[in-house]
Amino acid sequence: MKPADGASSAEPKGELRVVGTSVTREVELLLERVAQMVGRRAPRVLQVGSRSLVSDRNERNWRSLVAKRFGRRAAFVGIDLLAGSNVDHVLDICSEPRALKAKLGRDPFDLVICCHVLEHTRQPAKAAHNIEDLLKPGGVAYVATPWSQAFHATPDDYWRFSVRGLMLMFARLEVLSSFYSGGDVGLDVAYRVVRDGKPELDARAGAVEQGLFQLVLDHEDNRAVLARQATERLPVSRTYLPTLFVNIVGQRTA
């Protein structure tokens, strides 16, 4: 995955900025981008990991969002490892391309949604490659993964990713947008790190991200946390280990 502006690193750049946003707003921008891309044509959309769970109180219903934006003309397909609500095909995104096309057909997708899935796959690089293959040239993928989150096995939990890590795996995508979001129910806060209005993807931006998103406990708080470990269950998702997701919107190059 590479920056969308194509600017040389030698060119002078403007000021690095942290811009407040929300996942809701970013999803609206994503769907508007897809609408501009397809025009009057009916979009073809794939959701990877589509099964609805009772615990998914903070997850978006992508099928409803797509139907609301594009109407009945949109073709929406949901795949998951297990059968259940919102699943059209029981299918592993890490399968061989031939198996994927046997279930999904050979028509490529305009949009592939892969939220909170890659950390549960045994072969995330293969999943990324398959997602790229399933996109039409110019098609868009939205990928959300945890950078910091407590262990959650559904069915297992293997990986954590940085923005730079996702860029390595999705080498055929041109990054259009990236942002960080939290995970608390009912709290829709997100941040973009930008320069000249475009996503800042240089590794040196990590210094800014470290200052923004690293949780640092003072000496007394740290000692109190350690003292409680033997007797109490720590609320790791809100104090010791806050939840932070990285989100990437990338477009497959022609």
36-58 pLDDT, tens digit each: 999 999 999 999 999 987 555 55
pLDDT of residue 27: 96
What is the C-alpha separation between 107 and 66, in angstroms, rounded? 18
197-218 pLDDT, tens digit each: 899 888 877 777 776 666 666 7
pLDDT at residue 63 is higher than 80? yes
Of 39, 28, 38, 29, the C-alpha closest to 65 is 28
Of 155, 167, 157, the C-alpha closest to 250 is 167
What is the C-alpha separation between 59 and 188, in angstroms, rounded? 11
What is the C-alpha separation between 194 and 174, in angstroms, rounded? 16
pLDDT of residue 214: 64
Which DSSP helix (H) or strand (E) runs through 195? strand 190-195
- Please, what are the domains in the chain? 14-252 (3.40.50.150)
pLDDT at residue 239 is higher than 80? no
With a CB cutoff of 8 Å and minimum separation 6, the contacts of 156 are: 120
